[in-house]
Structure 1
């Protein structure tokens, strides 16, 4: 059969499809009715629930199909989720995008939401994604034009499909998305404890329905201190999560990124040769913001058409308060690359929200060229200066006690506790150092990756260093901007140098404000405590306090426009 004849036969087949009469679930329609600031609905929406799609090994993958109730051909969006197919995914992706003229295939990953097989975190997504596309090819309404969309782990499954993209895949939208599970659970070998527990609650309960998930989340919150202060940490989560979560023990115990356990987990390579146009969306306080920047960098290097939106959001608020912006950005990208309508695209590849003055800025790239930076240096009495000191001796020291750990406050988390916070109470602690610059005579824009070079000595040889950039206003209120953590290993009394990536920011320090550099020995329970003994954080029972000294050849490096 010739290509033209095949297309004609295919069109006849699609016209022969009779849409079912089902409406989307009532709960989805009710939630949809509460949203404001979204585009006007173009089509009524139909629903085919609980279709069975064979996975790579034949496991039945339960799938819902949303579609516009109208004549004509429409592109298809594939959304694969381990969190169920109900709220909020049904209205956010199924209903809203079908209203705008897309078939939406919303599927539960294997072992979740009624799908067969066993959920094994990242190990089956590439094969099951390809199997689902194979099933799509046999559907009478499928035109051969496919896009993918989704947040968090729903972004991971997109990268899995992009490892070997099918020819039908014409666009992707990765929202607050994951590509490297190791980096979600560990930072430079330091366990991200609070995020690990939040992921476990979501993976274990969200696909079971809204009520079980809320109960599990509240139970985890009530028992968070009990779990995170347990000695040892291993297995302490079982009481709050309703039993053992074997994969959680595994990810917590394997702090080394090179361990065979993590082989094949990262899908960063998917972006390196990709030609599928990919839109990226994140927030400054998103726990996965650095992964999004990595994705953008790889796509740009590969010459792939890409766009980046960074808003004033956390991982969850991007899909709540930020949803009108996130939806509009996503819809414009999909219309451009699946429907040929580029009228909604931004003129520049990058748009970032600038904190401090609550504005948006369009940029040609991220980070900006040529990448100019300014160094700030700590000196005694808690001052932060621009002139490099000649004395590289001790500047200040403090005692970190893992039995009374420095608490975490705000920052990039998966929980509602994420984001900017008043650091006043935290900075009043004896185990937190602050170095503060003079009042600024004019605004200072910090735009790009922030880092710290720390010269550290300890009395035990084993410690962490947590470092944070803060904006201090004219009233003395100190608010976190970005931060980072790294382990430190020292020998004897000689200082060791460690460079700590502190993520990135776009922030304006207003005239009259001051730049503050905050340094401590941890941020608990966001990060698991360093026991001070060299023992595993997961298995440690005995703790040893450590004296940490900061030396004068340390520096805070800030990028600027």
Structure 2
């Protein structure tokens, strides 16, 4: 590196005598040794392939400070790579999750010798702030606790650290303040408090993304927690960009959702190779294209198709969601609505506003953005509003469709009108499906509990209940519906 630190790097080359080749580089905090099969697969297609442990991880020198060194270290790595006799010059930066962040920063260096020529970013973790908080404020607890327990402030990884801690103490994440979590994990974690700080802004700003000019392939899953970041990356990228979204979780094709169809099975490795060749050859068309899997069907649909219809379903209307058990509830952080359960208590004080639609009379394809328009009152400020849309099949089996949490600072006791964005949906709902809409004040342990005391939720030590009311006459569910038009995802991505 530029400061003399040595980063452990594995190089896998095509057969001897092949001559200089374009290269693929993958920089990761999760152990470069896990990617040897991936390197060999790239070399089988004629690429030189490089995997590197980022600074401070595994066998690399330096201090491990997540997201702080990747831009400079990535540029230094690319300059070194291009100086090697086996390199013909062009470089594709690839990676998933944190490694996708590393790949993206490699596309933004001002020096062409330190800048990648194309990027493949899967389930991208765009930066520390972007991964720690929802776009509209609330803190993500469970995923960040798991990641930092496994990888924070250590040169290696312990993927099961949080699971073991929760097995020993099931109420671990309930301890206050949230900032003191390391004391209950039983090991030093000095960087934990900084997870929630805005002191170091994320290096991938919207302005950076808009000024990027190299080709990008953004890959994600509808059940991945970073799927909205993947869509945003695609929408803001300045160069030729392609989007692939399947019915998958963070593990992509190895982590399919129950709505996945055998037609959604893809060989992502072959797709990556084909796209990389087209990107380096300059044969990709300009602008944005992509393919979205329509969950519950066998279809892949173009990401750029114009929506056919916007469905606005007013609460309480004949074709809209109808309230069950009233529209007032108590958001009590001592007994929060759980993110890891879909059952709903049918006795006691309501802990959420619950609404239900009539069964669908025919199948419905949801393809595009969804939102909830609310007119609501909270007797505390700030107040978090958690919205969950659940599908119910004719037998009553529940499945998540969309979730969002937003933070509002409206004056306490004042009715406010606001919108909760639910992201982009891609799901076919069969006949007789019903939608259950849940509006609550918490979504725990996925998100930190709002204490309703005016304190920072991360450092708060007191919890108070908040009374909430939703006004049906000013609220609506807004969906985008269209008839799916099938495309070949590989052709759509690579042209």
* Contact kept? 1:402, 1:530, Cα under 8 Å: yes
Q: Given the alignment, which residue of 504, 508, 530 partners 2:450?
A: 530
Q: Separation in 1 of the partners of 2:8 and 2:346?
A: 50
Shift of 1:97: 1.7
Shift of 1:490: 4.0
Alignment correspondent of 2:224: 286
Task: Report Cα offsets for 1:291-319 as digits up to 9, x if no partner.
Answer: 110111112xx3x2221111111112445
Matches within 5 A, 1:533-548: 533-548=453-468
The verdict on how the C-alpha distance between 1:536 and 1:148 changes in structure 2, with shifts beyond 3 A counting, is: same
The verdict on how the C-alpha distance between 1:206 and 1:76 changes in structure 2, with shifts beyond 3 A counting, is: farther
* Contact kept? 1:454, 1:499, Cα under 8 Å: yes
Alignment correspondent of 2:298: 359
Matched, 1:83 2:30: yes
Shift of 1:245: 2.2
Alignment correspondent of 1:407: 338
Shift of 1:555: 1.4
Task: Report Cα offsets for 1:217-274 as digits up to 9, x if no partner.
Answer: 532442574331002111223442x52323221123x3xxxx4x14343344332122
Q: Separation in 1 of the partners of 2:425 and 2:467?
A: 31
Alignment correspondent of 1:121: 66
Matches within 5 A, 1:190-201: 190-201=138-149
Q: Given the alignment, which residue of 462, 466, 469 partners 1:549?
A: 469
* Contact kept? 2:106, 2:116, Cα under 8 Å: no
Deviating more after overlay: 102-111 vs 470-479: 470-479
3-state SS, counterpart of residue 94 of structure 1: helix
Q: Separation in 1 of the partners of 2:273 and 2:345?
A: 41
Alignment correspondent of 1:488: 408
Q: Separation in 2 of the partners of 1:557 and 1:428?
A: 30
Q: Separation in 2 of the partners of 1:213 and 1:428?
A: 41
Shift of 1:80: 0.6
* Contact kept? 2:57, 2:154, Cα under 8 Å: no
Q: Given the alignment, which residue of 167, 182, 204 partners 2:152?
A: 204
* Contact kept? 1:227, 1:233, Cα under 8 Å: no
Shift of 1:277: 1.4
Q: Separation in 2 of the partners of 1:206 and 1:141?
A: 34
* Contact kept? 2:129, 2:202, Cα under 8 Å: no
Q: Given the alignment, which residue of 390, 397, 418 partners 1:498?
A: 418
* Contact kept? 1:449, 1:558, Cα under 8 Å: yes
Shift of 1:102: 1.6
Alignment correspondent of 1:60: 6
* Contact kept? 2:378, 2:466, Cα under 8 Å: yes
Matched, 1:374 2:305: no
The verdict on how the C-alpha distance between 1:85 and 1:214 changes in structure 2, with shifts beyond 3 A counting, is: same
3-state SS, counterpart of residue 538 of structure 1: coil
Alignment correspondent of 2:248: 313
Matched, 1:397 2:345: no
3-state SS, counterpart of residue 540 of structure 1: coil
Shift of 1:332: 1.7
Matches within 5 A, 1:147-546: 147-164=92-109, 166=112, 169-187=116-134, 188-204=136-152, 208=156, 213-222=158-167, 225-240=170-185, 242-252=186-196, 254=197, 259=198, 261-299=199-237, 302=238, 304-318=239-253, 324-338=266-280, 349-355=289-295, 357-363=296-302, 365=304, 368-369=305-306, 372-379=309-316, 385-386=318-319, 396-409=327-340, 423-425=342-344, 430-546=350-466
The verdict on how the C-alpha distance between 1:250 and 1:311 changes in structure 2, with shifts beyond 3 A counting, is: same
Q: Separation in 2 of the partners of 1:371 and 1:271?
A: 29
Q: Separation in 2 of the partners of 1:214 and 1:364?
A: 34
* Contact kept? 2:380, 2:413, Cα under 8 Å: no
Q: Separation in 1 of the partners of 2:271 and 2:152?
A: 31
Structure 1 runs, 4 residues or longer, greater than 6 Å off: 339-342, 426-429
Shift of 1:323: 8.6
TM-score, normalised via structure 1 length = 0.77
TM-score, normalised via structure 2 length = 0.86
Shift of 1:335: 2.5
Q: Separation in 1 of the partners of 2:372 and 2:200?
A: 28
Shift of 1:104: 1.0
Q: Separation in 2 of the partners of 1:505 and 1:288?
A: 14
- The runs of 5 or more residues in structure 2 that have no matched partner are 257-263, 483-495
Shift of 1:556: 1.4
- The runs of 5 or more residues in structure 1 that have no matched partner are 1-54, 411-422
3-state SS, counterpart of residue 112 of structure 1: coil
Q: CA RMSD for the aligned pairs? A: 2.8
Shift of 1:388: 11
Shift of 1:386: 4.0
Q: Separation in 1 of the partners of 2:346 and 2:409?
A: 25
The verdict on how the C-alpha distance between 1:486 and 1:264 changes in structure 2, with shifts beyond 3 A counting, is: closer
3-state SS, counterpart of residue 234 of structure 1: helix
* Contact kept? 1:385, 1:437, Cα under 8 Å: no
Q: Separation in 2 of the partners of 1:498 and 1:406?
A: 21
Task: Report Cα offsets for 1:368-404 as digits up to 9, x if no partner.
Answer: 435742112223xxxx654799xxxx96111121111
Q: Tell me the matched-pair count.
A: 466
